């Protein structure tokens, strides 16, 4: 009996030790993101002196039960900081006193009623301008912390999520059409409608006051960062661009020719995109991106590019949703992708009703809140928001047919006027 008691005690100690989980401050989010504090891997959260700015961690707890929460921070010796931590609807307030060594602020135990995602919101109750302390980490302990899942990496972006459209064996696709409706559209989101082996075409939220329609085509070669290192035979060159469109270079994700139209596209309003491919010779293809202007009620050219070392039609068709910022990776992003069609070089339109789900490496184990499905007769992509569940990589979906090819597509002529030499 004594031996069994000792074994049980030791087992309990092992479980308790395993349950302790430090969650670095550099994995948290600031709300609002631009309130003055700063997040860095080496220093955690510094410059936190505005009580209007909150610090929030998010994670999935696999167990109900008690959850002990402490926060480690640097606070000058003798300085007082009043703090509040809110978890599972309960708020605990503590007054911390700084010391020569990092201060551990014990917020006590919170009751977790059921497994699921939880937010951990740390607030300053100090006057504006008074430093609340430089936050190092949140530490969780107790039964509810066992096997908890948090993204512990510095990258705080949501997972990028993709639709792949299978067109194996079809080698003469000269046009690809897709409609996109933004549903949840926070800052720093890119919704790609028409992607293919050589470029991408979609819409972006790039600032609180500016949205864009973007069409870009990659160079050939292997340069990933600096377009100045790309030799002339490998450079994609601009053929033409539409009225009001800006054209230039891009890098850091491969290199190539970039173009965008500043346009305040509306959340909840369908946008229409169509990309074409015209092989010029055995080694060059001209790719053109057309967008249907909702106010003008007509198709307009965004830009047209001559891609070297190509000579092919479109293949590798896909769409995606991307959080390209990271500072607001806690927010939910969602769009509907519908009525996909591709045209073959004989002029025939073919409806694309099947797509397969995939995600980037962040979606493998760090951020599991990534989804694909069918809604209102369209595919949807969803990422972020710390929503329960997930969609398995490689899952195929089929949407209902629409029988509505883009027969109104009447592209404006592509000419060399209004071209920026790159």
Please write the tens of the pLDDT for every residue from 300-310: 999 999 999 99
Say what the pLDDT of residue 279 is: 97
Structural element, H or E, at residue 173 = strand 173-184
CB 51 within 8 A of CB 125: yes
Average pLDDT of span 38-64: 97
The answer to whether 181 touches 56, Cβ cutoff 8 Å, is no
Question: At a CB cut-off of 8 Å and minimum separation 6, what does 292 contact?
Answer: 271, 272, 273, 274, 298, 299, 300
- In this prediction, residue 412 has a pLDDT band, given cuts at 50, 70 and 90, of confident
Other beta carbons within 10 angstroms of residue 373's beta carbon come to: 14
Q: Is the pLDDT of residue 419 over 90?
A: no
- What three-state secondary structure class fits 108? strand
pLDDT of residue 136: 98
CB 176 within 8 A of CB 344: no
**If you ran DSSP here, which 8-state letter would residue 148 be given?**
-
Q: Can you tell me the mean pLDDT for 210-223?
A: 95
Mean pLDDT of 358-380: 98
- Cβ of 226: how many Cβ atoms within 10 Å? 11
H-assigned helices in 257-341: none
Q: What is the pLDDT, as a whole number, of residue 414? A: 61
Query: Residue 6: pLDDT above 80?
Result: no
Beta strands in 8-133 (DSSP E): 21-24, 29-31, 38-40, 44-46, 54-61, 65-74, 80-87, 90-97, 103-112, 116-124
State pLDDT tens for residues 334-349.
999 999 999 999 999 9
Residues 6+ apart with CB under 8 A from 2: none
Where does the pLDDT of residue 5 fall: very low under 50, low under 70, confident under 90, or very high at 90 and above? very low
Task: Match 């340069």 to its residue by tokens.
Answer: 223
**Domains of the chain in sequence order:** 14-145 (2.60.120.260), 161-398 (2.60.120)
Reported as half-sphere exposure (CB side, CA atoms, 13 A), residue 49 has a value of 8
Determine the pLDDT at residue 322.
Answer: 98
For residue 207 the two structure tokens come to 């600032």
DSSP-assigned beta bridge partners for residue 74? 134
3-state DSSP assignment of residue 134: strand
Beta pairing partners, 292: 299
The CA distance from 201 to 213, in Å, is 8
Mean pLDDT along residues 145-166:
97
Who wins on pLDDT, 221 or 1? 221
Query: With bands split at pLDDT 50, 70 and 90, how would you rate the model's confidence at 20?
Result: confident
pTM, two decimals, is 0.92
> Phi and psi for 80 in degrees, rounded to 5?
-100, 140
CA distances from 72 to 44, 231, 386 (A): 10, 52, 24
Say which residue the tokens 């720093």 belong to.
188
Number of other residues whose CB lies within 10 A of the CB of residue 246: 13
Local confidence band at 17 (pLDDT 50, 70, 90 cut-offs): very low
């Amino acid at each position: 009996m004594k031996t069994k008691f000792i074994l049980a005690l030791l087992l309990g100690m092992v479980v308790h030790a395993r349950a302790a989980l430090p969650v670095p401050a550099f994995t948290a989010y600031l709300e609002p993101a631009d309130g003055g504090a700063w997040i860095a891997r080496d220093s955690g959260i510094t410059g936190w002196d505005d009580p209007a700015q909150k610090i929030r961690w998010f994670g999935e707890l696999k167990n109900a039960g008690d959850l002990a929460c402490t926060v480690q921070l640097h606070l000058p010796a003798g300085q007082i900081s009043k703090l509040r931590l809110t978890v599972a609807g309960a708020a605990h307030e503590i007054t911390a006193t700084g010391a020569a060594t990092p201060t551990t602020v014990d917020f006590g135990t919170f009751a977790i009623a059921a497994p699921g995602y939880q937010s951990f919101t740390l607030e300053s109750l100090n006057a504006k301008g008074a430093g609340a302390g430089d936050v190092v980490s949140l530490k969780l302990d107790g039964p509810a912390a066992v096997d908890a899942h948090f993204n512990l990496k510095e990258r705080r972006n949501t997972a990028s999520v993709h639709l792949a459209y299978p067109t194996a064996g079809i080698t003469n696709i000269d046009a690809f059409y897709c409609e996109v409706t933004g549903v949840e559209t926070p800052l720093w989101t890119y919704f790609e409608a028409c992607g293919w082996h050589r470029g991408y075409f979609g819409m972006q939220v790039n600032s609180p006051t500016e949205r864009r329609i973007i069409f870009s085509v990659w160079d050939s070669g292997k340069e990933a960062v600096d377009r100045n290192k790309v030799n002339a035979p490998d450079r994609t060159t601009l053929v033409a661009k539409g009225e009001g469109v800006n054209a230039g270079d891009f890098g850091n994700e491969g290199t190539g020719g970039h173009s965008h139209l500043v346009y305040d596209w509306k959340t909840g309003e369908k946008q229409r995109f169509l990309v074409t491919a015209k092989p010029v010779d055995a080694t060059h293809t001209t790719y053109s991106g057309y967008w249907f202007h909702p106010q003008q009620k007509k198709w307009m050219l965004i830009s047209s590019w001559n891609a070297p070392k190509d000579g092919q039609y479109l293949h590798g068709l896909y769409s995606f949703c991307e959080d390209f910022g990271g500072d607001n990776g806690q927010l939910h992003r969602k769009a509907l992708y519908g009525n996909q069609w591709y045209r073959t070089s004989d002029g025939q339109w073919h409806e694309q009703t099947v797509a397969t789900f995939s995600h980037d490496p962040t979606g493998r184990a760090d951020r599991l809140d990534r989804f694909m499905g069918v809604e209102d007769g369209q595919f949807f992509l969803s990422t972020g928001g710390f929503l329960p569940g997930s969609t398995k990589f490689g899952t195929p979906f089929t949407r209902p047919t629409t029988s509505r090819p883009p027969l109104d597509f009447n592209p404006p002529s592509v000419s060399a006027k209004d071209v920026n030499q790159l």
